[in-house]
Every structure is written in structure tokens, then in C-alpha cells.
Chains A and B, each alone.
Chain A
Amino acid sequence: MDGRVTSIACLLLFLASAGSAQIGSDNHTVTVRVAQITTLQLNVGSVSMSITGVGLQAGQDTMTAMNQSTMMLWGTNLNNVKTTVSTNLASPRFTLKARAVNNTAGTAAVERVLSTTPGDFLLNIGRSQGTSTIQYTGVARAQQGTGVDNHVITFTVQSQ
């Protein structure tokens, strides 16, 4: 008789547990880590500009050509960074300038003459992704004659 009572009591407990909303649970730890990531791409591999002097008027010395065919794309999860621009050509015959235009994020630096020393191109791009059109301007004076400058231009993301 005692056994029957015990059985019934335990089964009631068992069924009560079965009837509760939460029947069982378990957990584990999942860790998510995000490394420092910065990526930068140019959509065009090469740019060619010709300063032809077309439209040049008599007495005018400075000839220019402009190109906006290249777009810079970037993404970074670092805070407080900027992009700089430089060229590998230490002594160019002509002047080449660059400026960021139509930027989806960041602040364009002033137009700068390219040199081997990296100079500011686009500021305040921390923790963002976006695009920027690169506006190149080639400048030649009459006394510089004719010739070709081949630049390898490098854009770099670095701390601001």
C-alpha cells in the first residue's frame, strides 16, 4: 500500500513537471570577435591623360587636362582614420594634382600636387564605407616641353 502511495505521488510530480511551460534547458558560450579591418580598392587600374593644348589661346602658358574616371572604394572599422595619396615619381616633368570629389563619407582634403611624400586625400573616414571619385588634373607649361610621366599612385588608409 505504501508503495502505491509513493508511486502515485511521484508520478504526479513527474506529470506536473511535464505540464510546466519550461521542461528543460541547457546553454553554452559563443564568442564573437571582430578584428581591425581596413580595405581599399580602385575601380580602374590605369588612367591616361593627354595635355594637348586644344583651346589654348595665344599668350596663355598653362595647359591642363582633367580625368575623373577612377573611383576609390573603402571600408574600415577603425576609428579616426584618413586616406593619403602619393606617387612613386620623384621628379616628374609635369605637375599632377589629385582631389577627392563626390564623396559618400569623409571630408575631402584640399587639392594637392602629388609627391613621394604621402599627403592627405580624404579625412574623417573612421568606421565607415564609401566611395570617392578621384579627380586628377595634369598641368604643363610651355617651357616644360613634351614628354610622358608614368606615375604609380598609392592611396593609403592611416591614422588621422
Chain B
Amino acid sequence: MNLNRKLSLAALAIGLLAVAGEVAFGQLLVHVQGPAPNLTIFSGTPTGGPNPVVNSNSRLRYKKWLTPTKITVSTNCPGQSFNLKVVATGVTVGLAAPEVSLVSGTPGIDFITGIPAGFLGQADATLKYTATATYQQGNSIDFGNDIHVVTYTLVAQ
């Protein structure tokens, strides 16, 4: 197989990945790992309200791209009753944005910014979720659980 042929096949492979990037290639560039976080608020104090609960059991793996990029976060949670925040910790490439409040239906909010250009360089961060609630917001027996589909998106910066 001559060099031209090899280059063609390599380019074809990359091209196909790029075209199919909506799903498979997209997840190759940004991938959530670990068990689905499950946060249960079960105690509280009279003056402080229900005690927040933290979960840091999942991670985000992402790759550098040909241009500078950033990662945004958004959620879809119909009928959201309680509060959920997330922040990136242990970020190996880029800069963690301040803690983000996840509100269903709002556009993507900066999560990790300043990811420099590169080609598929591996990076990762821990996803630190914090669930909070007020007494006024009630409980899951009355209102059901909040089930968020949290999406992380790599976009050009």
C-alpha cells in the first residue's frame, strides 16, 4: 500500500468520525465517567435548613481540539423542585469556572474555560455536585425526585 493510499484511508477514517461526530465522536471528545450521581438530602437544622449533600463520584474526560475550546454545562429536568450545583475540581487542562447552578432549560453555562488548542490531548476533571433545598421546597414524597439529564458540551471558545 503506497503512502498516498494510506493517507487517504487515514483521512477517510477521520472524516467519517467527524461527520458522525454528533454522537460517537462527540463522546470521544467529551465523556462522562462513573456511576450516575444520586444525592439524597435527609437531615437539617432549624436555622440552617436541610443539610446540603455532595457527590464527587463521577469524572469528565475531554480532549484538546484544533482550536481553543471550553466546556459548558446544561440540564434538562422537567418540574425541577430542588437545587443542584456543579463545579469542576482537579481540572488538568483549562480553568474551572465558578460553581454553576443547574436550572432546567437554561442555555449552557461555562464549566471549564481556556482549553488550549491541541490535538486530542487527554484531560479530565472531577464533577462535584451539590444538592440543596429549603424547607419551603418540600420533599420528594410530595413532589417526586428531581431527575436531571446533565449535558457537557465542548464548544469553540
A residues sitting closer than 8 Å to B (CB atoms) are 2-4, 6-11, 13-37, 39-41, 73-79, 127-129, 131
Q: How many Å lie between the Cα of A92 and that of B155 in the bound state? A: 74
Interchain CB contact (< 8 A) of A20 among B28, B30, B156: B156
B138 at the interface (CB under 8 A from A): yes
Residues of B close to A77: CB separation below 8 A = 44, 50, 133-139
Interchain CB contact (< 8 A) of B26 among A4, A6, A16, A25: A25
Residues of A close to B14: CB separation below 8 A = 10-11, 14
Q: Contacts A7-B8, A127-B136; is A37 near B44 (CB within 8 Å)?
A: yes
Q: Are B32 and A23 in contact (CB under 8 A)?
A: no
B97 to chain A, nearest CB (A): 17
Q: Are A31 and B12 in contact (CB under 8 A)?
A: no
Interchain CB contact (< 8 A) of A40 among B11, B36, B46: B46
Residues of B close to A28: CB separation below 8 A = 32, 36-37, 58, 149-150
Interface Cβ pair total, 8 Å cutoff: 204
User: Contact residue range for chain B?
Assistant: 35 or more
Q: Are B154 and A31 in contact (CB under 8 A)?
A: no
A150 to chain B, nearest CB (A): 26
Residues of A close to B137: CB separation below 8 A = 34, 77, 127
Q: How many Å lie between the Cα of A9 and that of B14 in the bound state? A: 11
B151 at the interface (CB under 8 A from A): yes
Q: How many Å lie between the Cα of A33 and that of B14 in the bound state? A: 43
CB nearest to A23 among chain B residues: B154
12 pairs, A vs B, C-beta closer than 8 Å: A10-B8, A14-B18, A18-B18, A20-B156, A24-B29, A24-B62, A24-B154, A25-B152, A26-B32, A31-B38, A39-B44, A75-B50
Residues of B close to A18: CB separation below 8 A = 18, 65-67
Q: Are A21 and B141 in contact (CB under 8 A)?
A: no
Q: Are A34 and B152 in contact (CB under 8 A)?
A: no
B17 to chain A, nearest CB (A): 8
Interchain CB contact (< 8 A) of A17 among B18, B36, B142, B150: B18
Residues of A close to B30: CB separation below 8 A = 24-26
Q: Contacts A17-B21, A33-B140; is A23 near B26 (CB within 8 Å)?
A: yes
**Extra A-B contacts (8), CB below 8 Å, given A29-B36, A31-B145, A78-B139:** A6-B8, A13-B18, A24-B28, A26-B30, A30-B55, A36-B139, A75-B46, A77-B138
Q: How many Å lie between the Cα of A4 and that of B66 in the bound state? A: 22
B94 to chain A, nearest CB (A): 14
B40 at the interface (CB under 8 A from A): yes
CB nearest to A36 among chain B residues: B139
Q: Contacts A10-B12, A31-B146, A31-B148; is A41 near B46 (CB within 8 Å)?
A: yes
A108 to chain B, nearest CB (A): 18
Q: How many Å lie between the Cα of A84 and that of B131 in the bound state? A: 32
Interchain CB contact (< 8 A) of B129 among A2, A14, A30, A76: A30
